[in-house]
Every structure is written in structure tokens, then in C-alpha cells.
């Protein structure tokens, strides 16, 4: 698959994940891109955040990304043919202090990408709502929970552990709707 | 100034992190004043700490403010460690204690 200005976020995710896997770099897609896929377009992200779990150094990342036309510009990788850019936030793969994150395989645009599950993408957005009172993140979390099958009990337990019971209740009410 | 160990990679990084642990939230110019360090050095330290996921910055008006990243996976362990480090940095704790941060009604004379 080649990239062009009409490539979607999903297509770019597949191309990049595939190039990284070919180079022996184990990555998991997190952040706004997952929210975009699971929320059915309620939220539109331009960036792809991959957490490197194994095999990634600055040099190997530069080489793998260059093979698909991305060049490093500071901390991000940009491509002249697409608006989407790629970053590698420092790990570990965690949501709050929960390190037991099990990625899923997302089937996108004719390929696959290891990514956060819908439940974890929902928790990831909720973390921003809990800690920053970011209501955009709340609405995205609600959209994910409405469109996907998420484990509400897992989210509730985690919210309680993080100390945000009232915020979880607001989220749960919003998911149920008026 | 006491020359202490710098477990977070350098004196500027460590003291910036310790100061944020004490203050909760701050901005580069305030941190530079407290640490008696150049603003550019503090900004570089903050950028590095942000990349490492230890601090989070956001724009409020025209000022970029920073705090410990509340979503950092080891925050619960980090906070008491920073408190312990602050106890070993009397210059910094004295500077922080000398800072008035509580609200002051507008119009009230200084």
C-alpha cells in the first residue's frame, strides 16, 4: 500500500505499523487515533501515537520510518504526502497506573495494527477528563462506549481506583443518554 | 547551594521536577526564579521531562503551565520520592516557601 494525500488515517496506520513490524519493532497504537477509529469519526485525530514495546531505538525507528517516506522532525515523523504524522511517546503502555494493558489486533484498511482495545481507548480518554476536566475527552469516551462493546465494569473499577467515582457516574449517565 | 545527586538526569531536570512536586503547577519563568536558573535551561528541562511523560504542559492564555503528569503510571511512587528529595534541598524549599500563591482580591493594595 502506498501513501498519498488522499490516504486515510487508517491506511497510514497500517502502512506505518507494517513497516515497523517488518523492522522487528513491536508497537501498539494508542491515543487519539484509537479514539478516532472506535468513536466512528466523532473525534478526528491527525496524529498516530505508537508506544514501542520492543526493538525500537532512535536509529531503527528513523530507518523503518524512512522506508515508508516519513522523516523525523524533532520528536515527530512527517511525510510530504500526508497530513498525518507519527509520534512515539515514551512507554510503558499504561492507563493511569494500570500497566496490565492487553492490546488487540485492529483490522483496518486491508491490514492490521496492534492497538488499544475499545475499553482501554475509552479509559484513555476518560483519564484526560478525570485529570484535566477535558470535556471533549468525555464526549469522545461516551461516543466510544455507545458505538463499541466496552467493559463498563472494568472502567468503573479503574475509575474507582483512580479516585474518580463521581466523574465515572457522569460518564455512565451520558452513555445511557437522556 | 548544596550539590545534591540528580537522579532524574541532571540538576536542572531534577530540581525542576522537585519544584513542580512542591508547587503543584507552575510556569517556566516562575520556576527559573525559584531555581535561580536561566529560563532557557528550565524550558529545556521541562521539554525533556514532558517527553519522558513525567510532566504535562498546557497553554492557559499565553502562558504554558506545567504540572506533574497526573496520568503517569508511577505518579503515586514519584510524589513521595520528590517530597523526600525536596527535604534535601533547603535552598529550593526556602524559595518555594517565600512565594505567595494564594489569591489576592483584585484592587486590594499590596
pLDDT reading at A80 higher than 80: yes
* Helix intervals (H) in chain A: 9-22, 31-38, 58-67, 118-132, 135-147, 152-162, 165-176
* pLDDT tens, position by position, B60-72: 999 999 999 999 9
A71: part of which helix (H) or strand (E)? Answer: strand A71-73
Distance CA A55, CA B97 (A): 45
Cα A84-B45-A79 angle, rounded to 5 deg:
15
Q: Looking at the complex, does the CB of residue A96 fall below 8 Å from at least one CB of chain B?
A: yes
Distance CA A97, CA B76 (A): 8
* pLDDT tens, position by position, B5-61: 889 998 999 999 999 999 999 999 999 999 999 999 999 999 999 999 999 999 999
The reported pLDDT for the residue numbered A49 is: 97
> Residue A165: what are its φ and ψ, rounded to 5°?
-65, -50
Question: Which of B71, B73, B74 minimises the CB distance to A131?
Answer: B71
In chain B, pLDDT over 90 holds for what percent of residues?
79
* pLDDT tens, position by position, A126-161: 999 999 999 999 999 999 999 999 999 999 999 999
pLDDT reading at B1 higher than 70: no
Residue A32's pLDDT band (cuts 50, 70, 90): very high
The reported pLDDT for the residue numbered B98 is: 86
Question: Which of B51, B58, B75 minimises the CB distance to A75?
Answer: B51
Residue B110's pLDDT band (cuts 50, 70, 90): low
Q: Looking at the complex, does the CB of residue A97 fall below 8 Å from at least one CB of chain B?
A: yes
Residue A6's pLDDT band (cuts 50, 70, 90): confident
Give me the interface pTM, i.e. the ipTM: 0.79
- Which chain B residue is nearest to residue A128, measuring alpha carbons? B71
The reported pLDDT for the residue numbered B2 is: 55
Q: With CA atoms as reference, report the closest residue to B72 among B58, B95, B56, B87.
A: B56
The reported pLDDT for the residue numbered A40 is: 87
Residue B3's pLDDT band (cuts 50, 70, 90): low
What mean pLDDT, rounded, does chain A reach?
94
Q: Looking at the complex, does the CB of residue B70 fall below 8 Å from at least one CB of chain A?
A: yes
Q: Looking at the complex, does the CB of residue B102 fall below 8 Å from at least one CB of chain A?
A: no
Q: Do B53 and A90 touch (CB under 8 A)?
A: yes
Residue B107's pLDDT band (cuts 50, 70, 90): confident
* pLDDT tens, position by position, B33-44: 999 999 999 999
Other C-beta atoms lying within 10 Å of the C-beta of residue A69 = 17
Angle of the A165-176 helix axis to the A135-147 helix axis, nearest 10: 50
Q: Looking at the complex, does the CB of residue A128 fall below 8 Å from at least one CB of chain B?
A: yes
Amino acid at each position: 500500500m502506498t501513501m498519498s494525500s488522499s490516504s486515510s488515517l487508517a491506511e497510514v496506520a497500517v502502512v506505518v505499523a507494517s513497516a515497523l513490524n517488518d523492522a522487528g519493532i513491536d508497537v501498539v497504537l494508542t491515543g487519539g487515533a484509537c479514539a478516532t477509529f472506535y468513536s466512528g469519526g466523532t473525534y478526528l485525530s491527525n496524529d498516530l501515537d505508537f508506544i514501542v514495546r520492543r526493538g525500537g531505538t532512535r536509529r531503527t525507528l528513523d530507518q523503518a520510518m524512512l522506508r515508508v517516506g516519513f522523516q523525523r522532525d524533532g520528536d515527530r515523523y512527517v511525510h510530504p504526502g500526508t497530513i498525518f504524522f507519527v509520534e512515539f511517546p515514551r512507554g510503558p503502555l499504561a492507563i493511569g497506573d494500570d500497566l496490565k494493558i492487553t492490546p488487540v489486533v485492529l483490522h483496518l484498511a486491508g491490514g492490521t495494527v496492534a492497538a488499544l482495545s475499545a475499553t482501554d481507548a475509552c479509559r484513555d480518554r476518560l483519564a484526560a477528563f478525570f485529570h484535566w476536566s477535558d470535556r471533549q475527552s468525555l464526549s469522545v469516551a461516551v461516543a466510544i462506549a455507545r458505538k463499541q462493546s466496552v467493559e463498563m465494569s472494568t472502567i468503573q473499577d479503574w475509575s474507582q481506583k483512580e479516585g474518580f467515582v463521581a466523574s465515572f457516574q457522569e460518564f455512565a449517565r451520558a452513555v445511557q443518554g437522556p | 547551594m548544596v550539590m545534591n545527586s540528580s537522579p532524574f538526569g541532571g540538576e536542572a531536570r531534577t530540581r525542576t521536577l522537585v519544584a513542580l512536586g512542591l508547587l503543584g503547577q507552575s510556569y517556566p519563568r516562575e520556576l527559573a526564579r525559584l531555581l535561580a536558573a536561566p529560563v532557557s535551561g528550565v524550558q529545556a528541562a521541562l521539554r525533556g521531562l514532558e517527553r519522558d511523560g513525567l510532566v504535562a504542559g498546557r497553554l492557559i492564555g499565553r502562558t504554558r503551565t506545567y504540572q506533574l503528569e497526573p496520568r503517569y503510571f508511577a505518579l503515586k511512587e514519584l510524589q513521595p520520592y520528590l517530597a523526600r528529595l525536596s527535604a534535601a534541598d533547603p535552598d529550593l524549599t526556602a524559595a518555594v516557601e517565600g512565594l505567595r500563591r494564594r489569591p489576592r482580591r483584585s484592587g486590594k493594595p499590596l
